Structure 1
Amino acid sequence: MPLVIAGTLFLASCKPKDAAIQAAIQAKEPAGIVVSVEKGQVTLTGHVLDETAKANAEKIATAEKGVKSVLNQLTVVTVEKPIVIAADTTLIKNVADAVKDFPSVKADVKDGVVTLTGTVEKTTLIKLMQLLSTLNPKKIENKLTVK
């Protein structure tokens, strides 16, 4: 009996935590896709350009260790005009305004890429990522520690 308990505890401690799963998947997904994880269940939200991108995003999430299921809520958008990447000067101002409500988050902008460092609560990460996505960066590099 003690071996069963020890084995169960060992296996439970080997499972990746939701925050680690979320960070791993988010790092592999393109800008515009927001990843959330709860109890191993991944939810993908945001916009993609076609069904192939939507399927690829789901494939990336499904392949991550510890994922039990994936709810793909990505929206395929029809692009009638070219995607506009905001200029750094505009991004710097808008990103500063966007992260002011997240005091433990630092955001740097270079060449259209927004790099996030610091810490953020798990419950507010999606709100932050969605807010930054609307500012038209080329990419969002999420290097945040999720609490």
Structure 2
Amino acid sequence: MTMRIKQLASIVLVMGLMLMVACKGKPKDADIQAAVTSSLTAIPGVTADVKDGAVTLSGQVASEADKTAAEAAAKASKDVKSVTNNITVAAPVAATPQVAITADDALKTGVAAVVKDFPGITADVKDGIISIKGESTAAKWKTLKMALDALKPKRVDASGLKVK
């Protein structure tokens, strides 16, 4: 009889262990979310959402390499079933063009050609700055100023100009 009890106890023990292993709970989305988020800390601008073990990545990164690295990091996380990569790559920022500053000799030639049409006004050029002297009406000054600005000087100094 003791032999039967031992066999029965062994069978119950084995079945209990198998039941415990088989009834192991599914991984929680919150645990997967924490694991994926910690693996993505090196890649700024990326967020992850988890539903039933499926990870959806979103956000914006600077390069295609960052996008690929984020996906690989998410796939490497434990208990992830699938990864949907909705990350966008930011367009490169265009550099703002520099204003070309004309050399003084070429600027002097251009200023002389413009000022000859405005009697009573003289202009000097030094270090890319055009200094205007003389008298003019407001309408003529506006026309002159637009013509001088087209030459792209550093600035136009009209402190010596009297506007009537």
- TM-score band by shorter chain is 0.3 to 0.5
For normalisation by structure 2, the TM-score amounts to 0.43
TM-score (norm 1): 0.48
Question: Which structure is richer in relative contact order (CA contacts within 8 A, separation 6 or more)?
Answer: 1
Structure with greater Cα Rg: 2
